[in-house]
Chains A and B, each alone.
Chain A
Amino acid sequence: MGDELGFDEFYAASFRRLVGQLYAMTGSLADSEDAVQEAYARAWQRWDKVREYGAPEAWIRTVAYRIAVSAGRKAKNRLLAHGRHGEGRGFSPGLSPDHLALMSALRRISADQRRVIVLHYLVGLSVDEIADETASPAGTVKAWLSRGRKAMAPYVSEFADTAPGTLQTKTILRTEAGEE
């Protein structure tokens, strides 16, 4: 397996960004770091092919997301913990009340809805691109986006038009700030 230099450059350029995206999807920095690191390890196993896809970052994100949401595993973190070699980790990005409120709102919607909202609003993917990445029909993606926006409407004013009767004037209703 070759091209260590290319892999290193890709890792250095994308690791933090992908952790941020995963964090928005999962809400756990620790799990996001572990999942992304593990995804890189899996990418290296087949780096030639992953590189050929032309979108290795999307590949990492997809695999990392799958790892992060795999539930019901035994000792799920053991190997991941071993893989990360323990050098510094933790969690406390220093979120503002608005950030906390947004995370709280994201927590209230389904994992699928949260994923597509992050892919759409944070990563900037189109519906068709999200459909490719999630291997879901475009219609399903649209439905997830719509339902996610609607579910978050009580807490996010921009989405208020998707939920009748909401009159928020701020992006995030501060009354939700700090809710766990």
Chain B
Amino acid sequence: MPESFQNLLSAIAQSASASATPVGADAARRRGRQRSVRQRAVACVAATVLVGGSATVALAVAAGHGGTPKPITNSGTATPDAGSAPPSPSAGPSTPGSPSAGASPGAGATGSGMIGDLNTIVPGAWTSAGAFALTPGSWTANMARPAIHTADRQWFYSCHSADTLTHLGALGYQELTYGATMGGSPVGADQVLFFFRSNGAAEQALGTVQNDYAHCPEPATGVNGVPMTGTVQQTETLDGGYAWVHTFRTAQGSPAQPADIPADNHEFFVQRGDALEMVWFGGNPTVDDSRNDLTFLADLESNLCVYGGHCPATTHPLAASINATGSTTLRLGGSAIEFTVGVTNESNDTIRNITPVVSLGRCTCVNTPLPIMPPGVLQRWDSAGGTWKTQFYDTEGSGMDFVLSPGVVQVPPFDLGPGQSVTFRYRLQLDPASSDKLPAQYHVSNGTASVGVSLVHPIANSANAQIGNASAARLPVTVVLN
């Protein structure tokens, strides 16, 4: 046996061992429990695994990423400036939790324009765990303070083989990780700030991310060999920020087992100045809930804008309207009332995958325990076909199912460019035999009701995501008997 070769190899391994940073057995156990609960495929790899000869290994002898603006330690990890206040482990960085907390630039303002520095932790740039979307208030930071890294890795959905720093041209990143329990299962989150050489480079990186999410093909088979379908759905956008839900499902609709990424991922990207922020939630379908995406994007942007750029308005850039074109009196068996529904994009960004949901509000005209609008017919004018098309008669009850239920999509989703508007024409008629269709003890009488419109992002195989609270409108109507 060549002793010298063995000694050299041993020295290399020992050098690497000395440089290694054990994360800890506790972290491994926690991670193992997460995997167990999620029932992810951790292919039962015992010592009998056959490793394919075609595996590729990237050998990089000196992996330090060039171009870091300040000297870093030889481990590639820099220490935050001593003057930076360490964030609280339980609440994330010591930064205001939301734009309304008063410490962030006001809505519509411009950030301070501080030049982002990879090696300087700015607590105010971080959004606290308390503001995390989907939150039951239980997110806990796993780390005492953000860590700074220059070692490359693949952080997000991409069709490119290069790891993220190389792919985006980033200098490095700051990172905080979080854990929580939702729906009885552990979930995880990462808040990552990538830093670039210039504002332009950061903007370009965000464009690359957008392009990747829009166009990259999904893997078609899970690690367990089961075919799956991956879906990337943009659920919200706000002033240059984007939210996506990224899911993998089997043909039966159950969570699939993609390689090293959960079946459910909810991701946010915002860019301000020379910083690009990614927040990722993953673990189980709970994290797919998109109802708070707009608020969360506003939180992220309002904090990250310490590095410059626009601090977003908190009002929603999409506006919905509903207006009668004639009488608003609905007579049982009488003629239909007509109204229009308008959707306007008041932002400077294209907003994708929008659809209005027209619903029938509760009516004082019935004595049923839940005063649901009497039966009728809702139709939308199809200008292309020159006909009225019957729509799903979407009655409001006791919850939000009328707008969020999967499949409640009356109009094919569309995109709206900056400043663009679209108008739809509807008519509504009540069934003349409405009372007859109710149980004997109930009946229809004169009363009042309304027709509402809500804007949503439909999500394949999932609940619709409502677009903010302001993007709804309502038309009062009167119901009268013959």
Contacts and interface: CB of A to CB of B under 8 A. Distances in A.
Contact of B47 (A16, A98, A132): A132
Nearest to B74: A92
A119 B8 CA distance: 14
B31 A89 contact: no
B49 A89 contact: no
B75 A92 contact: yes
Interface residues of B, number: 88
Interface in A6-48: 7-8, 10-12, 15-17, 19-21, 23-34, 37-38, 40-46
B89 to A, nearest CB: 11
Contacts of A28: 57-60, 63
A68 B47 CA distance: 15
> Which of A31, A73, A86 counts the most chain B CB atoms within 10 A?
A86
B32 A42 contact: yes
A16 B20 contact: yes
B50 A136 contact: yes
A73 B20 contact: no
Contacts of A86: 142-143, 146-147, 149, 175-177
> Which of B5, B46, B72 counts the most chain A CB atoms within 10 A?
B5
A152 B56 CA distance: 18
Contacts of A45: 32-33, 35-36, 42
B64 A91 contact: yes
A29 B58 contact: no
B25 A19 contact: no
A27 B59 CA distance: 4
A70 B456 CA distance: 39
Contact of B51 (A29, A69, A90, A92): A69
Nearest to B246: A75
Interface in B1-18: 1-2, 4-6, 8-18
A76 B154 contact: yes
B75 A90 contact: yes
Interface string A63-94: 10110111111111111111111111111111
B5 A121 contact: yes
Nearest to B176: A86
A42 B31 CA distance: 8
B9 A102 contact: yes
Nearest to B142: A85
A63 B48 CA distance: 10
A85 B262 CA distance: 17
Contact-residue bracket for chain A: 35 or more
A103 interface: yes
A90 B150 contact: yes
A146 interface: no
A160 B44 CA distance: 40
A31 B153 CA distance: 8
A113 B24 CA distance: 31
Contact of A93 (B9, B18, B73, B259): B18
A38 B53 CA distance: 22
B77 A90 contact: yes
A77 B155 contact: yes
Given A86-B149, A92-B76, A29 B53 contact: no
B9 A121 contact: yes
B214 interface: no
A121 B282 CA distance: 41
A166 interface: no
Given A38-B31, A42-B35, A76-B259, A19 B151 contact: no
B10 A27 contact: no
Interface in A112-160: 112, 114-115, 118, 121-122, 132-136, 156-159
A92 to B, nearest CB: 4
Nearest to B156: A75
A41 B29 contact: yes
A99 B5 CA distance: 10
> Which of B6, B11, B51 counts the most chain A CB atoms within 10 A?
B51
Nearest to A77: B153
A78 B22 contact: no
A81 B190 contact: yes
B476 to A, nearest CB: 49
Contacts of A58: 47
B154 A78 contact: yes
Contacts of B176: 86
A65 B51 contact: yes
Nearest to B189: A82
A166 to B, nearest CB: 13
A24 B61 CA distance: 10
A20 to B, nearest CB: 3
A82 to B, nearest CB: 5
B398 interface: no
Contacts of A33: 20-21, 23
A157 B22 CA distance: 35
A40 B11 CA distance: 24
Nearest to B22: A15
Contacts of B218: 74
Contact of A66 (B29, B51, B261): B51
Given A30-B151, A75-B155, A79-B260, A91 B45 contact: no
Contacts of A107: 59, 61
B57 A94 contact: no
A20 B29 contact: no
22 contacts: A11-B28, A17-B17, A20-B12, A27-B58, A43-B32, A62-B47, A62-B49, A65-B51, A66-B51, A75-B155, A78-B261, A83-B23, A87-B147, A88-B75, A89-B75, A89-B149, A92-B76, A98-B8, A100-B62, A104-B61, A115-B51, A121-B6
Interface of A: 4, 7-8, 10-12, 15-17, 19-21, 23-34, 37-38, 40-46, 53, 55, 58-59, 62-63, 65-66, 68-95, 98-100, 102-104, 106-107, 110-112, 114-115, 118, 121-122, 132-136, 156-159, 171-172, 180
Given A28-B59, A94-B19, 11 more contacts: A16-B17, A20-B16, A21-B13, A28-B57, A45-B36, A77-B155, A99-B12, A102-B12, A104-B61, A106-B59, A107-B59
